[in-house]
A and B are shown apart, each in its own frame.
Chain A
Amino acid sequence: MGKKYNTLTTSSKMGYPGLVVQNRKTSVCQFSFTLGVLLLLIFSTPALAQSGSQTAARDSFFTLTGSVRDESGAALSSVTIKAAGRNRTVVSDNNGNYRLPAVSLHDKISFTSVGFASQELPVSGSKLDAVLLPAVKGLEEVVVTDGYRINTRIANVSAIGKVDGKVMENKPFASFQQTLQGRVAGVSIVGFSGQPGSEQSIRIRGLGSMALSSNPLIVIDGMIVNTGNLANNIKTMDALTGINQNDIESINVLKDAAATSLYGSRGSNGVIVITTKAGKSGKTRITADVEYGSSKPMELPKGGRPLNASQYAELFKEALANAGNTPDAIQKLADSYGLNSGKSNDWYNLVTRTGKQAQYNVGLSGGSEKTRFYASAGYFKQDATTIGADLNKKNFLLNLEHKINKRFTFSTGINASNVGQNTPYAQGFYGNPTYAARVLRPFQLAYNDDGSLNTSTTGNTNFSGVYNPLVIAKYDVKGMSQTHLLGNAKVKWNLFDNLFYTSYISLDYTGMEETTFLNAIMGDGKGVNGRSKNYFERYFNWLTRNQLDYRYDIPHIDNFSLNATAGYEAQKSNFYLLAADGYGFPSAASGLTALSNAATPVGTYGQNEGYSFTSLYGIASANYKNRIILNGSYRRDGSSRFAVNNRYANFFSVGGAWNIDQEAFFQKQKVLSSLKLRSSYGITGNAALSNYAWMPLVSYSGATGFAYNGIAGQQFVTPGNIDLKWERSKKTDAGIDMGFVKDRFSLVVDYYFNNVDGLIQNVATSLTSGFSGTLKNVGAMVNKGWEFTLNGNVIQTKKFYWNTNFNIAFNKNKITSLDANTNPQNGLFYLKTGYNFYTYYMKEFAGVDPQNGDPLYYKDNTHKETTNKISDAAYSVLNKQANPKYFGGFSNNFNYKGINLAVDFTYNVGNYVYGASDIYLTSGAYYTFNKYLYIYEHRWTTPGQVTDVPKYAPSTDNSTSTYRLYKGDYIRLRNLSLGYDFATLSRAALLHKYGINKLNLYVRATNLATFLFDNRLPFDPEVSYSGFDSNNMPKYKTFTIGINVGF
């Protein structure tokens, strides 16, 4: 157990009374304790199990036999058969027959099998046959989980969106999140960079926080994993890229309080619970999937295409002429810029390419009644369509479950992956190929006359500012290798009756190796003869959980049960960084780019960081005949992320559901086939702030960070706040689940109202304090909205089948409280009580003066007067937001005699977007940068011309206004696939002869088409949640062909 350390309490004389910082680390007490319990349990099992076994042998017993068949009379294997109140279960064999020993007369025997409605039949003799009907009541059969419990849909009271593993399989996306896009109402997923494996940002029911992360918590097989971008140098990798989509059994998205408050201080942004595939006993099944294809650039929006040489030359001269230069002077300058050289190139074509794409997966599933396993291995490779960007990943998964005896089940899972990634510079860096392709003049020549790469940095046809992206791509290295190991071990112990004890430990290891090399020929490594940085970063995150579950059936009332769960959880994550930096390389062209070749070391870094949580939780629920279900939960969390006085907090929820379809009166109507009302209220938290945010800190920033003249230097860099607490989200949810026509159609509607208070705000301070802001719990905001999910088997005949799923979510965000001194100018947004957090706030463009081509601005938001001086225009609060009014997905599956067509759309409507570098790409003030085609085509040139692009001149318009704000609406054909399932053919006997029971061939295209609604829009509108395009790598289309074989 942990050693006891003294807690040092220091009353600071510097204005932070009561500031307490512990300077020692504790031992891993919980961890070792859980291990101990696990061992104890495993080694003591036989004795305990024997003593615990009991049989109430009062009646006379016999062995029941029979067979199970489907409607058509075909034998059903693997049906689970069990007598109510008894422990023994058996499964039917391949002929549908079973033998169930120790049955007495009047026992009720249940028959359950996936895809079929369960049946319960009384024993009336020694033989009992059953006919199972296909499950029509989808809600009853679907199982949902919040990570702590598994529930049937019917017993569930929470707003949980579930995505089945089938949806995830064989998708040509590097990250599983990309497949999730558009699948669950209210869940928005944005990967704003086209870099494969890049960070995927998720919002559930809108923006959860202003200053902290709004990304949901992600739980994989019970483990709360570290997510997001964990790297420190290259920063283009999502921590979960290594997860193989084909291994996912299901994804449950927890949206309301009843589900998320179980996660206490970390549940307020919603929770995504991922379960990986488990083995199925019986014959070992092998699946093999192979997919191959290519990636191709998506078309640039027309308005955003770069200018060609003659167009650029025309604008260049026009700018200078409009500035009053003489034709002679213009000619001279044009010559120096190579405008008359006859040599030019198309930068967009030079930095884009057609890439390759491939994935291979093998899965194994099988086992005996006692031991089941699922194992898989996969390989995935994808090239982005931007030069220098690619990804490959290898992964392996083993899930094992072993029934030690009827009281003990042991299970373990190991999920290992390695992801390799190459990436170019991003954002506005001079080496970013996307930025380069936008700003480089067609007359800046990529190649010299002799065909070699142009590395000159002087002269106007060369690269004095932005680097030649081809040189950077050829000689620089920016690579990352991420190894992710996720393992867990679990013992489930049926102590007695309906009391279960589960002990669980999990380890989540992420190791990252980042290597950069900046070449000596051109770019940031030039002045120093090449520079290399190597980073090794490691996250070691462990969690242990001990949980008791008890089910109590109320005596004398059928189907009335109480469930109670209590548990304790401890988690600790530690980050380690080791990095070095050096320059002075022998010769860039020689390929000696390893850091060891650096003549001059410039930096060494080694440091740790961490967080820990402890939690006590309890859940209680009552289920009355599946008609009324009540649920309550409580959690007490402690976290290292807060000062001692604010370390603990309590969270709770209450929820209930009424399955009206279980009531007698429901049967009297014919409109609905099922109906459920559910509602919940509760409090969850957000503790996703940086680990030491509350501390007023003085830092050394490494060896040389703040050093001066060889003396290590410290700076007071963070004001801190010892009163900082978690943010609290009070969530209310009301939902209705409806089924029509024997549940062929279903509609799920949710209304939610999330009131977040204690919002941590980076309260702007006067810059004279030396700081620009400090964290305080001052804000509050509301997210409210509606979600609709419509699912239907529109056509359902033997030959033809059409399933459609449409979801739409409306979210309204409103700030309800802020610090009094809040600067309303929050970047491009208006930060004020009563407004959406993402309300744009800028000067309003009023068009172009037809007489002289001047840009006009509204003097104020009454729009009565215009001015051509932007300084005379007032900032306006716009009725335009960066977040969509509504968004969702629309997916369709058509099946005709084994031919499957899937057509999936995602859409996003009612938002506006802004480009980080658009000023350079639109304003004549920057006439040495290339421009968007829209500017060329619409600029004012002649008096009387009515247009929306001002005169092209160096003195015009170079500040922020709605002139550069675009509609971000889009509809995207996300996925289009056509497949053929050979195994469904009646002539598939040949396949069966070779043991093949599944053979699927398909072709697939992603991002095939995008429909846009603003012809000025110059870039793809799928940008960050703040509506900002930071010259992100463009996304692309993929075209793949694949085959799935099962044995």
Chain B
Amino acid sequence: MRYIIYKLLIVLVVLLSLGSCKKSFLDQSPNIALTIDKAITSEASMLEAVAGMYRSMTTYYTFGRNYSVFGDLLSDNVYLSSTNSSRFLSQSGFLWTGESPEASALWQNTYFSILQANRILASNLQRTENVNYLLGECYTARALCYFYLVNWFAQPFTVSATAPGVPLVIIPANITGPLVLPARNTVAEVYTQMVKDLDSAASLMPADPKMHPNTTNFFSKAAAKALQARCYLFMGDYAKARDAALGLVQNGGFTLAGDKNTFNSYWAATAGRTDKLESIFGLNNPAAANNGVEGIDYIYSSKGFGDLLATDSLYQLYSPTDYRRGLIADSVRNKNQAYVVKKYQNATNTDRDEVKLLRYAEVLLTLAESYARTNDKDNALLYLNSLAKKRDPSFAGYDAGMTLADITTAILKERQKELAFEGLRFFDLARTNVSYARENMGTKAYSNYPQVLQTDFRRIQPIPRNELNVNPNIAPNPGY
């Protein structure tokens, strides 16, 4: 009997040892990430979400480099040196296909930034002044993203406002789920949303905010207005473009560099500005977080790859006394004479060049063009000269006797000179719907595609194949 009790006891002990422990044994969670429902719970965490949104925009796949490079390389400002680091080879020769990884990266990464903006806008945090300001930044960011998307992947508004634009996604994937397959909205619908977002932004953001005051590394009321002026200009709504730009010129407090030294030190600097000189918005690339060799400075600067060179014809647009000519060096690349771009000068510094996306000079030119296109010759000349004469102290100003058409041409030329290497040239050629020549630089260039006709299907980037494959609701762009 005693023996049987032993046996039973033993079995009991063993069976107990087989039993399971607490359920929490199976709970594991990361300590470097949060679930989405816990991400934005305070003003401070929303600020971090906004910082993350900006950071997503600094990637070289989009605003950090490629949007800017595309705007100049695909137009007539820049060519790819035959001595290069193998970047932008297909862009150089207009050889990209529907599988173009660069186009796909533009699309995917821009929508990723839009997701970041959308999920912040969808958070239901208690509204405070600072929260409102942060939301205003998100509206502006979303508008900027859509502006570049719609202009690269769709017809210019001025060519066809009813053409397919890009899908408008304004509700984030954590609410809709990630499996939504949106169709393309029209170009006009995209612009309408941008204008609306910028209105929201402007109304949410006071001109003198408590949140990161006065630094051009964050969107501000002025940035929203400047972008809105650009939107109206691209929509051909010149009256509204004029009003938006004029408001900023009259009330914004921005100034142009007054002399050559100020101008040069402006372009040499790496930090965002707090003095309202020239800059309205630019993405920061500090030592701690930049694109390294993939930065915009590295692809242009001779201290970096220096792959992209200014065309002879661009260089010749500048008079010898034009400050801006100083940003292009008459130099040598691989034993050939070459015009080397010096607008980005900090390729080998730890703190790197900002990517300037909105500048006061552009606002002035938008204002001038809006006046010209609304037949106000005097004001057009006034604002055109206010820039041109600042940039070239020897320049006496455009002649008051010019026709409106000549003035408009002069403004576009001035835009080319002023905004060169900032990614906007292609848009001007596209929205004015002109055929244009890309200068043949011979063996100095990697390849050549001399004539971009008005009818060239490559004026619009391909909707990425990896989008088309998944999303049957989206129509491809013709030609690819």
Give A contacts to B, CB under 8 Å. Answer: 1-5, 7, 10, 12-16, 19, 21-26, 29-30, 33-34, 37, 40, 48, 51-52, 320, 323, 325, 329-330, 332-333, 336, 458-460, 464-465, 495-496, 501, 503, 524, 527-528, 546, 548, 566-568, 570, 572, 600, 602, 607-614, 616, 638-640, 647, 691-692, 695-702, 704, 706-720, 763-772, 774, 821, 823-825, 870-871, 920, 925-926, 928, 954-955, 958-960
Contacts and interface: CB of A to CB of B under 8 A. Distances in A.
B84 to A, nearest CB: 8
B48 to A, nearest CB: 5
Contacts of A21: 29, 35, 38
A531 B23 CA distance: 46
Contact of B33 (A19, A700, A766, A925): A700
Contacts of B169: 768-770
Contacts of B118: 770
A709 B470 contact: no
A128 to B, nearest CB: 33
B108 interface: yes
Given A51-B3, A708-B55, A19 B35 contact: yes
A924 to B, nearest CB: 12
B274 to A, nearest CB: 13
Given A13-B124, A698-B36, A870-B97, 14 more contacts: A7-B27, A21-B38, A465-B84, A495-B7, A496-B10, A609-B31, A709-B286, A712-B51, A713-B52, A715-B52, A716-B115, A716-B173, A763-B179, A767-B107
A1025 B261 CA distance: 61
A610 B116 CA distance: 28
Interface stretch (B11-19, B246-254, B359-367, B422-430): B11-19
22 contacts: A19-B37, A495-B14, A612-B25, A692-B28, A696-B36, A698-B33, A699-B33, A701-B32, A707-B55, A711-B48, A715-B53, A763-B179, A764-B466, A764-B470, A767-B108, A769-B111, A771-B178, A772-B108, A823-B470, A920-B86, A928-B86, A958-B90
Contacts of A23: 29
Interface in B175-221: 175-182, 212, 215, 217-218
Max chain A C-beta neighbours (<10 A), residue from B58, B305, B464, B471: B471
A30 B22 CA distance: 9
A717 B465 CA distance: 22
Interface in B343-373: 347-348, 350
B49 interface: yes
A782 to B, nearest CB: 25
Interface stretch (B67-75, B287-295, B313-321, B375-383): B287-295
Contacts of B36: 12, 14, 16, 696-698, 716, 720
B24 interface: yes
A186 B148 CA distance: 53
A766 B181 contact: yes
B176 A15 contact: yes
Of listed B118, B169, B335, B443, residue having the most chain A CB within 10 A: B443
B25 A709 contact: no
Given A704-B288, A716-B115, A614 B20 contact: yes
B85 interface: yes
B136 interface: no
B99 interface: yes
A528 B287 CA distance: 10
B35 A708 contact: no
Given A459-B334, A770-B172, A692 B55 contact: no
Given A570-B21, A714-B48, A765 B470 contact: yes
Interface in B333-347: 334-336, 347
Contact of B24 (A24, A333, A600): A24
Contacts of A708: 51-52, 54-55, 58, 217, 284, 289
B39 interface: yes
Nearest to A574: B28
Nearest to A692: B30
A696 B35 contact: yes
Contacts of B93: 955
B467 interface: yes
A33 B348 contact: no
B167 interface: yes
A465 B3 CA distance: 83
A955 B95 CA distance: 9
A22 B29 contact: yes
A326 B14 CA distance: 90
A135 to B, nearest CB: 37
B217 to A, nearest CB: 5
A823 B466 contact: yes
B21 A567 contact: no
B189 to A, nearest CB: 14
B464 to A, nearest CB: 7
A766 B180 contact: yes
A503 B11 contact: no
B39 to A, nearest CB: 4
B384 to A, nearest CB: 34
A769 B7 contact: no
A869 to B, nearest CB: 11
B311 interface: no
A458 B53 CA distance: 37
B447 interface: yes
B247 to A, nearest CB: 27
A928 to B, nearest CB: 8
Contacts of A765: 173, 178-179, 470
A608 B28 CA distance: 10
Given A16-B174, A714-B48, A715-B55, A464 B305 contact: yes
A719 B112 CA distance: 12
A341 B474 CA distance: 55
A527 B466 contact: no
A709 B35 contact: no
B26 interface: yes
A459 B90 CA distance: 22
Given A24-B24, A566-B18, A708-B52, A332 B443 contact: yes
Closest 5 CB pairs of A and B: A770-B115, A22-B27, A713-B52, A713-B51, A12-B37
A698 B17 contact: no
B289 to A, nearest CB: 5
A4 B21 CA distance: 10
B101 to A, nearest CB: 12
Q: Which of B20, B108, B287 has the most CB of A within 10 A?
A: B20
A583 to B, nearest CB: 8
A707 B51 contact: yes
B25 A570 contact: yes
B34 interface: yes
A769 B124 contact: no
A320 B448 CA distance: 13
Contacts of A566: 18
A691 B26 CA distance: 11
A640 B26 contact: yes
A433 to B, nearest CB: 18
Nearest to A764: B470
A34 B17 contact: yes
Contact of B51 (A3, A503, A600, A706): A706
A711 B39 contact: no
B214 to A, nearest CB: 13
Interface string B266-287: 0000001000000000001011
A607 B288 contact: no
Choose among A48, A524, A639, A768 the residue with the greatest number of B CB atoms under 10 Å from its CB: A768
A616 B18 contact: yes
A518 to B, nearest CB: 12
Contacts of B286: 709-710
A581 to B, nearest CB: 11
B56 interface: yes
Contacts of B128: none
B45 interface: yes
B17 A647 contact: no
A29 B22 contact: yes
